[in-house]
Structure 1
Amino acid sequence: MNRNKNDEDANLAKNKDKIREQSITYEMYAELPDDGQRYEIFDGILEMMSPGPSPRHQDVNRELEFILMQSCRNDYLIYDAPIDVILSDRNVVQPDVLMIHRSRLQIITKRGIEGAPDLVVEIVSPGSRSRDRITKLRLYARHDVPEYWVIDADSLTLEQYRLIDGGQYELINLFEGDDRVYSDKLPCVSFSVSEIFREVRG
């Protein structure tokens, strides 16, 4: 019994290594056996995500989603991870929170979200800072996500990026303390930054 389990684990590891060596597509990603880990694809490269979210991360995620549900649910559908956002065949990500306007429901399919959400939010973790602030920032801009928020539960800030001409983001606001978060692109958004950090522990 143990030998069979060991053989299965060895084959699984070998298959994962083989996949990592080649440019993979969403279809290949969808066929991966469940090993309890979460993955994303950046330009055809399979990347394992950081360990499970910390309590601080979960606290912020929950509060933000609760606030957005109260003010935006009439106009937007709101999702949180894990959910596949298929930006292209070789770029698949799992943002912490996202919103899609109800006029664009066609991008919601059985596979996940196929296209650019109206808002994507990443809550940075110690192991995801570079990915969220560099890799994903460039990727979301390239795939025309109109607005991107990066929330830092350590510095208690929300960075608001807006897509500008040329497929790049501009940091238009850095909210902290009792600053009121607002968005010209998302008129339903109105809350103070301190609200999303009120339950943060640890």
Structure 2
Amino acid sequence: MSENSSNDKLKESGLTYEDYASINDGNYYELAGGQLELMSPVPSTVHQLISFEMQTHFAHSCKSNYIILGAPIDVILSSSEVRQPDLILVHRNRINILSKRGIEGAPDLVVEILSLSSLKRDKIDKLKTYAHYQIPEYWIVEPTSGILEEYILQGNKYELFNVFQGDELVNSPNIPCVSFTMADIMDNIPDIKD
């Protein structure tokens, strides 16, 4: 699909997964309520380092029980809702939700690492969307302060369950294998020049 075609689709609503999947212009998008959202700019170096460190810690303690995936991968929540969380955990007894297209259904955990361009989308829009589609747990990581907010689904909405920073052991009532601190993550992030 040409760039003009995808630009036209950015203004449309009522789009489906098939419309979304047909776009091949080199950009990353999410499909939110049938409307394309451009994922731009690309994640920062610090964002990617935090993602890698978290994946490494998940792999160390959780890989025997969970499939651990990082963006970009489609989480297809419905024909009009396709998201690309930064990190995703799916319990191995639910491997049936993995397909060649992506993850088709609610993962056990999604993690978003904030950036200036995604702040409102991650803290407001995705909070509502992930709750609506019954994802049991949602974490938001603030990369500057190294704070992790843990949201647990209570009925049809998320409740802030805990906030972790520094040497506090990150734990989860739903994912018992989690075992790291935000200091474990942040201490491995080098100082990056502006």
TM-score tier, shorter chain, comes to: over 0.9
Task: State the SS of the aligned residue for 1:37.
Answer: coil
Q: TM-score, normalised by structure 1?
A: 0.91
Q: 1:154 to 1:44 in 2, by over 3 A?
A: same
Q: TM-score, normalised by structure 2?
A: 0.95
Q: CA deviation at 1:50?
A: 2.2
Q: 1:152 to 1:15 in 2, by over 3 A?
A: closer
Q: CA deviation at 1:199?
A: 2.3
- Of stretches 19-28 and 107-116 in structure 1, the one that deviates more from structure 2 is 19-28
Partner of 2:13: 22
Partner of 2:173: 184
State the alpha-carbon separation in 2 of the partners of residues 42 and 12 from structure 1.
20
* Code of the aligned partner of 2:52: R
Partner of 1:3: none
> Does structure 2 retain, via aligned residues, the 8 Å contact 1:59–1:197?
no
Spell out the pairing of 1:4-153 with structure 2 (5 A cutoff): 12-18=3-9, 20-32=11-23, 34-153=24-143
> Does structure 1 retain, via aligned residues, the 8 Å contact 2:9–2:36?
no
State the alpha-carbon separation in 1 of the partners of residues 41 and 3 from structure 2.
19
Q: CA deviation at 1:20?
A: 2.7
Q: CA deviation at 1:124?
A: 0.3
List alignment gaps of at least 5 residues for structure 2: none
Report which of the two structures shows the higher radius of gyration computed on alpha carbons: 1
Deviations 1:117-145 (A, max 9, x none): 00000000111110100000110000000
State the alpha-carbon separation in 2 of the partners of residues 171 and 76 from structure 1.
23
Q: CA deviation at 1:13?
A: 1.0
> Does structure 1 retain, via aligned residues, the 8 Å contact 2:10–2:37?
no
State the alpha-carbon separation in 2 of the partners of residues 111 and 87 from structure 1.
12
Q: CA deviation at 1:15?
A: 4.9
Cα RMSD (Å): 1.3
Match status 1:168 vs 2:157: yes
Q: 1:15 to 1:98 in 2, by over 3 A?
A: closer
Deviations 1:79-99 (A, max 9, x none): 000000000110001010000
Partner of 1:4: none
State the alpha-carbon separation in 1 of the partners of residues 50 and 86 from structure 2.
10
- Structure 1 runs (4+) greater than 6 angstroms displaced: none
State the alpha-carbon separation in 2 of the partners of residues 96 and 12 from structure 1.
25
State the alpha-carbon separation in 1 of the partners of residues 56 and 69 from structure 2.
11
Q: CA deviation at 1:163?
A: 0.1
State the alpha-carbon separation in 2 of the partners of residues 189 and 28 from structure 1.
37
